[in-house]
């Protein structure tokens, strides 16, 4: 009987340790999820800034007529992408 009590106490102790570890891991997970959201927002902000800067570069090149054939093709591709995105937005707005 005493051996059974000792085993039960050991199991209870291990269970408490597991529960504490689980709570710690849950807190760490929440912290990491918040940090992940902040980092994603930062990445999105930097991507927006990068896109705006690229657009400014394109405008400068257009205004100075320094575009080569390859650059013109790339610019046309970007314009096509912008137009496709605008069309998607218009479709969504019209729904």
Q: Are residues 38 and 23 in the same domain?
A: yes
- Which pTM was predicted? 0.56
Overall number of domains in the chain: 2
Q: Are residues 56 and 76 in the same domain?
A: no
Q: Are residues 91 and 55 in the same domain?
A: no
Q: Are residues 52 and 84 in the same domain?
A: no
Q: Are residues 83 and 57 in the same domain?
A: no
Q: Are residues 38 and 71 in the same domain?
A: no
d(CA 52, CA 47): 9
- pLDDT of 35-83, one tens digit each? 999 999 999 999 999 988 988 887 777 777 766 778 778 878 888 888 8
> Among the listed ranges 10-14, 22-26, 74-78, which one has the minimum average pLDDT value?
74-78
3 state DSSP class of 95: coil
The boundaries of the domain holding residue 77 are: 67-95
């Amino acid at each position: 009987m005493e051996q059974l009590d000792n085993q039960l106490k050991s199991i209870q102790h291990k269970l408490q340790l597991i529960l504490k570890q689980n709570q710690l891991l849950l807190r760490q997970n929440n912290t990491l999820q918040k940090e992940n959201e902040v980092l994603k927002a930062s990445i999105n902000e930097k991507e927006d800034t990068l896109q705006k800067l690229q657009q400014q570069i394109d405008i400068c090149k257009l205004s100075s007529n320094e575009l080569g054939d390859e650059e013109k093709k790339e610019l046309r591709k970007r314009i096509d992408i912008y137009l496709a995105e605008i069309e998607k937005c218009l479709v969504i707005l019209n729904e």
